[in-house]
Amino acid sequence: MTELITISTISTISNNQLKLVTLNGWLYNKRGSGKILFLQIRDGTGFIQAIVNQNDVSSAEFELAKHLSQESSISITGTINKDSRAPFCGHEIWVSQIEIISHSQDYPIAKKSHGDAFLMSNRHLWMRSIKQHSILKIRASLIRAIRDYFDSHGFLLIDSPIFTPNACEGTSTLFETEWFNGQKVYLSQSGQLYQEAACAAFGKTYCFGPVFRAEKSKTRRHLNEFWMVEPEAAFMDLEGTIQLAEDFLCYTVERILNIHEKDLTNILERDLTIVKNTRKPFPRILYTDACDKIAKLGLEIKTGDDFGSPHETELTKQYDKPLIVTHFPSKIKAFYMKKDEFNPDFAKCMDLLSPEGYGEIIGGGQRENNEQTLMIEMQNHGLNLKDFEWFLDLRRYGSVPHSGFGMGLERCLAWICGLHHVRETIPFARTLDRMNP
Ligand code: 4AD
Ligand code: MG
């Protein structure tokens, strides 16, 4: 009787110990010579070592395996053997049949190291390599953890639009396009304003989607298209939103560590000591005290200046946990920020800075809920009140204190994974000098 052959994936290979299975995938790498070849196979769900022994296959198949080129697609059949020493997944497959699906010629990404620009130009292929594969899997888990947190904490998902008639985060970073009637329309910089409407209708809401900033910044922390999650809650003050940010970050980081600790340490070689320290409460510091501290560390800063990357980096080096900086000068913050009652030069806002120099990952605070004060602030920011009538309505019909924040997915992921540049945390990065592939 012939044995029934299971078609398996690498991720479920442990269910098939000592069984004959077929795997469909691609050749990742190859070594060995003489009578035995070691093929590294990837199938999208994982990586496994396949062993081709000359005695176990036909001579044509052995020749095929011997000349197989990187990234050729193949179908292999063999017996699964559990071996803790086996690379990748603790299992290996002893091949009895091998078939080529499609030949790959001169795959551009060789095993030698390539420059960043070359790899980014080949992003459509680079995402097959084991580190990039890991990062994008962790990204998917982080997205799931974020959604799970808000879905299970009473926040309703209310999607904000992407085409918007007005600015949220300053007029200088708007991507502009044209609506049907020739009217100017912009790509959203943040879904916040719409969440303010939504939280007055549903209490606690969040949106999670791509946002766009025409920032001409060429730093390792800036993308022109990135993903932001933005919770907003009615009857919540600055303190409430700080506690929400702390609880949320602890939950999501713990979820990622539970699922991906091995990927992080073995594949991305991330030292997780500080990431594991994400336990609330986080240290807090007032903006003015942070300025003093930064000045003492030898960097130039005047009260009233915004922090630059070097300031954030030096400041956070002093802590082994995320740091919360509150009460920035109102002047350098967005029009919607509520001013502190006791010291109106400062806003009831907070930035959560990651440890280890990855910069601001969360920004938020309490919103101005008085119509008159808000209108004055909008005028000071050069905004056209006509575009914001709907937003002002929220202050006219049962205005309540409310607060929220935004977390940049890529900044958070870059920190968790320990990546130098955010461009590796998004499948296809859009930056000042790149919008392809
Ligand atoms: O501090 P930001 O600009 O805040 C807002 O947009 C608020 N409307 C959010 C809110 O309160 N609902 O941006 C929030 C976060 C930052 O902390 C950072 O993580 C990320 O978005 N971010 C960027 N990430 C990548 N590239 C950029 N150019 C980014 N700009 C901001
Ligand atoms: Mg900010």
CB 142 less than 6 A from any atom of ligand 1: no
Asked if 230 contacts 191 with a C-beta cutoff of 8 angstroms, the reply is: yes
For 17, counting Cβ atoms within 10 Å of its Cβ (0-12 exposed, 13-18 middle, 19+ buried), the class is exposed
Asked if 109 contacts 116 with a C-beta cutoff of 8 angstroms, the reply is: no
Report the nearest atom of ligand 1 relative to the CA of 213. 28
CB 46 less than 6 A from any atom of ligand 1: no
Q: What is the pLDDT of residue 2?
A: 53
Average pLDDT over residues 146-163: 98
Which residues line ion ligand 2, judged by CB < 5 Å?
363
Give tens-digit pLDDT for 385-418. 999 999 999 999 999 999 999 999 999 999 999 9
- Ligand at minimal distance from the CA of 168 is 1
CB 405 less than 6 A from any atom of ligand 1: yes
CATH architecture of 123-425: 2-Layer Sandwich (3.30)
CB 339 less than 6 A from any atom of ligand 1: no
Residue ranges of domains in the chain: 6-102, 123-425
- CA 52 to ligand 2 centroid distance, Å: 55
Ligand 1 mutation pick, 155, 229, 323, 411, max ligand atoms within 8 A of CB: 411
Average pLDDT over residues 155-161: 98
CB 406 less than 6 A from any atom of ligand 1: yes
- CA 405 to ligand 1 centroid distance, Å: 9
CB 196 less than 6 A from any atom of ligand 1: no
In angstroms, rounded to a whole number, what is the distance separating the alpha carbons of residues 234 and 198? 9
Q: What is the pLDDT of residue 110?
A: 84
Give tens-digit pLDDT for 43-95. 999 999 999 999 999 999 999 999 999 999 999 999 999 999 999 999 999 99
**Phi, psi (degrees; rounded to nearest 5) at 389:** -55, -45
Report the nearest atom of ligand 1 relative to the CA of 195. 12
Ligand 1 mutation pick, 188, 190, 426, max ligand atoms within 8 A of CB: 190
Q: Which of 44, 41, 53, 48 is nearest to 16 (CA)?
A: 48
How is residue 173 written in tokens?
């970073």
Average pLDDT over residues 136-140: 98
Residue with CA at minimum distance from ligand 1 atom 29: 222
Determine whether domain 6-102 maps to CATH 2.40.50.140. Answer: yes
Q: Which of 222, 204, 205 is nearest to 214 (CA)?
A: 222
Asked if 313 contacts 352 with a C-beta cutoff of 8 angstroms, the reply is: no
Q: What is the largest CA-CA distance in the chain?
A: 85
For the entire predicted model, the pTM comes to 0.96
- CA 3 to ligand 1 centroid distance, Å: 57
pLDDT band at residue 221 under the 50/70/90 scheme: very high
344 alpha carbon, distance to own chain's centre: 35
Reply yes or no on whether the pLDDT at 297 is more than 60. Answer: yes
Give the 3-state secondary structure of the chain: CCCCCEEECHHHHHHHCCCEEEEEEEEEEEEEECCEEEEEEECCCCEEEEEEEHHHCCHHHHHHHHCCCCCCEEEEEEEEEECCCCCCCCEEEEEEEEEEEECCCCCCCCCCCCCHHHHHHCHHHHCCCHHHHHHHHHHHHHHHHHHHHHHCCCCEECCCCCEECCCCCCHHHCCEEECCCCCEEEECCCCHHHHHHHHHHHCEEEEEEEEECCCCCCCCCCCCEEEEEEEEEECCCHHHHHHHHHHHHHHHHHHHHHHHHHHHHHHCCCCCCCHHHCCCCCCEEEHHHHHHHHHHCCCCCCCCCCCCHHHHHHHHCCCCCCEEEECCEHHHCCCCECECCCCCCEECEEEEECHHHCCEEEEEEEECCCHHHHHHHHHHCCCCHHHHHHHHHHHHCCCCCEEEEEEEHHHHHHHHHCCCCHHHHCCCCCECCECCC
Q: What is the pLDDT of residue 308?
A: 92
CB 167 less than 6 A from any atom of ligand 1: no
Reply yes or no on whether the pLDDT at 303 is more than 90. Answer: no
- CA 347 to ligand 2 centroid distance, Å: 13
In angstroms, rounded to a whole number, what is the distance separating the alpha carbons of residues 228 and 188? 11
